[in-house]
Structure 1
Amino acid sequence: MMKRWRSFYLLLIILTGLFIASITVAVMLGPVPIRPETVWRIALSHLPLFGDSFVVDWSRGQENIVWEVRFPRVMLAAVVGAGLSVVGVAIQALVRNSLADPYILGVSSGASVGATSVILFGTFSFLGQWALSASAFLGALVAVVVVVLLAQVGGRLSPVRLLLAGIAVSAVFSALTSLIVFMAKNEAGIRNALFWLMGSFAGAKWEQLLIPALVVAIAMILLLVRSSSLNALLMGEETANTLGVNVRSFRLFLLVLSSLVTGVVVAVCGAIGFVGLMMPHIVRLLVGSDHRRVLPISALLGALFLIWADVLARMVVAPEELPIGIITSLSGAPFFLWLLRRNSYRFGGDGR
């Protein structure tokens, strides 16, 4: 028990160090290389606590590149990666299936329908800056409710029906998204929507970070508070009820929370698949199934993964840019197939 927690804290420290180093390197890399000390001097100079502590020995161009272009992009990738990983943990506990994630179960596709309707037709425009997130959240919520309803057999969730329902619902919502794009008349909007649908952090701004960062942080805290309920859910409904968990209300809580985080994330960067599938599974192999350990490590690992996936998206075909969804799918699809063939892994195992 203590050995497992010592390993957890060591891994947490290592990943935190890698996270800071990855931010530094990701901001440094680009057509205009920038030294690591310059990266952090520029970043810290924009914080009120350190604003007057540095002699400005960098150019205005370097400051714009670091603070206005690269830093918000890297931080958005980190927030999205953490959010998708946390949602993956919640959904896998909800359905007790290690093959579940927002992308495979159609939640991302549902969010995409809502988001593209705002981008191309101005749906919910009366909500202002909240329109995109609200519409994506509603689309994600509808998708996940439909999937769960279709997957139930005698009041219980069937893993096979869940995957099949997720694939079917994802196909339906993807078709609706294509229909929305087809019906639009704005060519520039259509191009933006198509690139956004494959996932991208291009054009990230600091103001885009506030809502997703707050939502992901609150979701993380709420799930950590309910980590014992998540652990109980892995043991089955009867056991969870015996341990005092109101399974019905807790599942509703997880559905709404997962839909909210997925909707907000999809609204800012498009549909990015397989992050919520891969990260929680890798983390469980490293630290066991106790959600007190799984949640923070998953968030850090997801942030690291998307930071480097975005670096690849920027650098592989530079000066052009790949949609990040291509990179995550190329790595995630083989991982999904490997999971399907692997029989030795027991989801919901060691929960110490």
Structure 2
Amino acid sequence: MTLAVAAPTRSAWHWTWLTPIMLLLAVMAGTMIGETPIPADTILKVLANRLWGTEFPVDRIDAGIIWSYRLSRAILAACCGAGLALAGVVLQALLRNPLADPFLMGISAGASTGAVTVAIIGLGAGTLSLSLGAFAGAGLAFTLVVALAHAAGSGTGGGRATQAAGAIILAGIAGSQLFNALTALIIAKSASAEQARGIMFWLMGNLSGVRWDDVALGLPAALTGLAICLWYRRALDAFTFGADSAASLGIPVRRVRGALITAMALVTAVMVSMVGTIGFVGLVIPHAMRFIVGSRHTRLVPASALAGAIFLIGADILSRTLVPGQVLPIGVVTALIGAPAFALILIRGARSR
């Protein structure tokens, strides 16, 4: 199985220009839709009052729902979707493995373990402390996965490429299970019953407690990850042909690989520390965008970031509306959508070869 995909169509650039507009519409939809629908003109009035000091008459309850709950939630959902999609793009290019993503490679599970450890043991208070704990867990998990794959005898060249891809994925599955078990052990031994219920719901993906402080951390993380990926976009093109090919083109392989993996681990850790583990975004979105804009990272990176943002906003809307009176974990929704979508991508990719 390779990363080769269909050539970009004539509509590729049209999608690139349309996606920012679609993102704005998605944020608007995420703010409008809920148990109590809110008209678009009310949202615009609230934004004008907050940002430009106007005095449009708006119901105080609606204003509170829009500004303090729905808008911040929609923006953070966009940040998380973009960050996870970027992590999938980078890991798939660096590892030359179409199944690589933060969830499957154990990075999300490690980040969850780190965040839960900080939250329960109390090694610091606030989102930043959770993010640092999540980053440490993500880094440890990825290091363990790489070491395990290397110990299994994986390689990256010659006739061993297929075995290497399989070894990395199996090592990622093993790492994910290990860190998920550690998380469950920490919860069982150290958390109260109330803490355990809250953490287990959070681990499946939860945007309910999102506020502007979270946006202030998530938005810079997503934008920084996007900037780094765009800066190294040509290097990512070279890595899709292997590390040796990248080195032959004058790319400092170790430095670039280390910078990209560190950046994506940090982005994943920040997102996991705020919303929990969300699967399939980093796996499905890059594949879908390759069919639309091609495999050149100049187009693939921004397209994947924006599509991931739209996807997670849509999943959040569904999580709030599928079951009346209840909010589903957003990870459940992404799995229900992502698993069939990925199956279709696999079938289409097999037929195109």
TM-score (norm 2): 0.91
2:47 is aligned with 1:46: no
Alpha carbons 2:35, 2:320 under 8 Å: kept: no
Secondary structure, counterpart of 2:105 in structure 1 = coil
CA distance in 1, matches of 2:126, 2:206: 22
Report what 1:208 is aligned to. 214
- Structure 2 CA distance for partners of 1:181 and 1:308, relative to 1, 3 Å: same
Q: Where does 1:148-187 land on structure 2 (aligned, <5 Å)?
A: 148-152=146-150, 153=153, 156=156, 158-187=164-193
CA distance in 2, matches of 1:103, 1:260: 14
Secondary structure, counterpart of 2:53 in structure 1 = coil
Secondary structure, counterpart of 1:32 in structure 2 = coil
For each residue in 1:101-146, what CA deviation from the matched residue of structure 2 results, as whole angstroms up to 9, or x when unmatched? 10011110000000111222213x1x75421000000101111111
Offset of residue 5 of structure 1: 9.2
For each residue in 1:170-211, what CA deviation from the matched residue of structure 2 results, as whole angstroms up to 9, or x when unmatched? 000000011011012422211110110000100210011111
CA distance in 2, matches of 1:333, 1:261: 23
Letter paired with 1:42: V
- Structure 2 CA distance for partners of 1:167 and 1:283, relative to 1, 3 Å: same
What RMSD in Å do the two structures reach over aligned CA positions?
1.9
2:228 is aligned with 1:230: no
- In structure 2, the gaps of 5 or more residues are 1-6
Alpha carbons 1:145, 1:255 under 8 Å: kept: no
Offset of residue 336 of structure 1: 4.1
CA distance in 2, matches of 1:322, 1:92: 29
Alpha carbons 2:8, 2:291 under 8 Å: kept: no
For each residue in 1:143-177, what CA deviation from the matched residue of structure 2 results, as whole angstroms up to 9, or x when unmatched? 11111222233653710001100111100000001
Q: Where does 1:258-269 land on structure 2 (aligned, <5 Å)?
A: 258-269=264-275
For each residue in 1:303-337, what CA deviation from the matched residue of structure 2 results, as whole angstroms up to 9, or x when unmatched? 11110100110011121111011111122233444
Secondary structure, counterpart of 1:200 in structure 2 = coil
CA distance in 2, matches of 1:330, 1:323: 11
Secondary structure, counterpart of 1:209 in structure 2 = helix
For each residue in 1:250-278, what CA deviation from the matched residue of structure 2 results, as whole angstroms up to 9, or x when unmatched? 22122211110110000000000010000
Offset of residue 31 of structure 1: 2.4
Secondary structure, counterpart of 1:244 in structure 2 = coil
CA distance in 1, matches of 2:100, 2:22: 27
CA distance in 1, matches of 2:190, 2:287: 39
Report what 1:350 is aligned to. none
CA distance in 2, matches of 1:216, 1:174: 25
CA distance in 1, matches of 2:119, 2:185: 14
CA distance in 2, matches of 1:128, 1:4: 44
Secondary structure, counterpart of 2:350 in structure 1 = coil
Offset of residue 79 of structure 1: 0.6
Q: Where does 1:1-352 land on structure 2 (aligned, <5 Å)?
A: 7-47=11-51, 50-52=52-54, 55-123=55-123, 125=124, 128-152=126-150, 153=153, 156=156, 158-338=164-344, 342-344=349-351
Offset of residue 7 of structure 1: 3.5
CA distance in 1, matches of 2:120, 2:87: 27
Secondary structure, counterpart of 1:217 in structure 2 = helix
Alpha carbons 1:151, 1:159 under 8 Å: kept: no
The farther-off stretch of 336-345 and 28-37 is 336-345
- Structure 2 CA distance for partners of 1:141 and 1:24, relative to 1, 3 Å: same
Alpha carbons 1:120, 1:190 under 8 Å: kept: no
Letter paired with 1:310: D
Alpha carbons 1:117, 1:180 under 8 Å: kept: yes
CA distance in 2, matches of 1:86, 1:168: 23
Alpha carbons 1:118, 1:131 under 8 Å: kept: yes
Alpha carbons 1:219, 1:261 under 8 Å: kept: yes
Alpha carbons 1:111, 1:262 under 8 Å: kept: yes
Offset of residue 35 of structure 1: 1.0
The farther-off stretch of 107-116 and 251-260 is 251-260
TM-score (norm 1): 0.91
Alpha carbons 2:85, 2:283 under 8 Å: kept: yes
For each residue in 1:243-300, what CA deviation from the matched residue of structure 2 results, as whole angstroms up to 9, or x when unmatched? 0112122221222111101100000000000100000010011111111100111011
Alpha carbons 1:197, 1:271 under 8 Å: kept: yes
Alpha carbons 1:199, 1:269 under 8 Å: kept: yes
Letter paired with 1:142: L
The farther-off stretch of 224-233 and 9-18 is 9-18
Letter paired with 1:214: P
CA distance in 2, matches of 1:300, 1:224: 13
Alpha carbons 1:141, 1:255 under 8 Å: kept: no
Letter paired with 1:266: V
CA distance in 1, matches of 2:340, 2:154: 33
Secondary structure, counterpart of 1:317 in structure 2 = coil
Letter paired with 1:150: L
The farther-off stretch of 245-254 and 68-77 is 245-254
Alpha carbons 1:198, 1:323 under 8 Å: kept: yes
Alpha carbons 1:89, 1:295 under 8 Å: kept: yes
- In structure 1, the gaps of 5 or more residues are 347-352
